[in-house]
Amino acid sequence: MKKLMIALLAACTILGSTAAYAEERGWGNASYEQGEEEMGTRNWKDWDVTVGISGEYGPVSPGVDKTEFDALPYVDIEYKDRYFLNFERGLGAYLLRSEDEPEYAFGVAVGYAEGRDESDARTELDGLGDIDGAAEVVLFAEGEIGFVEVELEVAKAVGGHDGLTAELSAGVDAPVTDRLFVGVAPFITYADGKYTQSFYGVSASQAANSATYSQYDADGGFENYGVELEANYKITQNWSAITSASYTRLLGDAKDSPIVDNEGFFSVGVGLAYTF
């Protein structure tokens, strides 16, 4: 939590100072070009930058009957439609991208694989210990099939749970008004044995340290399926409010795990962002 609050404080500081500087220079309005000239020869039109703050409320671990609220900075930066930094995938690049119909893209990124702290739910995670966070390598492909946006993302952790996951989603989005945009995307996720055992299994040593759980071996397979709803409301030309809600239902050995209290669970998120 301490790291989260430090990150949030840093985001607020960056957001406030950059937003004020942007307003002073007139970025995002009719005097954008003047601001660009004052900044020197760098072409800021090559950049798409959105920063802000966000929060998410959900279970501390999938299916566990203990929830938490995490506050984090919101970052979505893209350079020349090729390189990007965001919280969804991390730092990466599009290796191939077409904006002609039908649109499609392939890319690679280095992201962050979340872990789990036993201290966040001592009763529900009794004796299971921590799962360290780690870097992960992400490969992704996305494209349009008619009005549906299809996305496949494969992530392999380097350290931590050391597992591999793959998520397939198919979404649609549309403007409701000139300020409000909404989207919906069903998804299904596969997880290998290392990931499933880390988050849903109970090893012999964990069972020996726990007064609650016996040994449980969890094999890889389809981990979950669900649906996510998103809404983006444009408050002004630069400021936007972002909300999301998802429902996830566990499958296979994940669903049958003794750690799991709820086979289905909700997560919600909110955010406030400034686009330059």
pLDDT digits (tens, 9 = 90+) for 205-223: 999 999 999 999 999 999 9
pLDDT tens, residue by residue, 94-119: 999 998 888 999 999 999 999 999 99
pLDDT at 43: 60
Q: What pTM value is reported for the model?
A: 0.83
CA dist 60 and 70 (Å) reads 10
For residue 2, pLDDT beyond 70: no
Report the C-alpha gap between 169 and 148 in whole angstroms.
10
Instruction: State residue 19's pLDDT score.
Output: 44
- Say if residue 26's pLDDT is above 60: no
**Per-residue pLDDT tens over the stretch 135-191:** 999 999 999 999 999 999 999 999 999 999 999 999 999 999 999 999 999 999 999
Give 11 or 111, the one with higher predicted confidence: 111
Q: Which residues of 260-272 are buried (b: 16+ CB within 10 A; e: fewer)?
A: beeeebebebebe
Residue 259 has pLDDT above 60, yes or no: yes
% of the chain residues with pLDDT over 90? 80
- Average pLDDT over the chain reads 88
Q: Tokens representing 180?
A: 């409000």
* Top-confidence range, 14-18, 30-34, 271-275: 271-275
In this prediction, residue 134 carries a pLDDT of 97
Percentage with pLDDT > 70 across the chain: 84
How many C-beta neighbours within 10 Å does residue 234 have? 16
Q: CA-based angle 211:217:223, to the nearest 5? A: 110
* Virtual torsion, Cα 115, 118, 120, 126, nearest 10 deg: 140
Decide if domain 45-275 falls under CATH 2.40.160: yes
Domain boundaries, the chain: 45-275
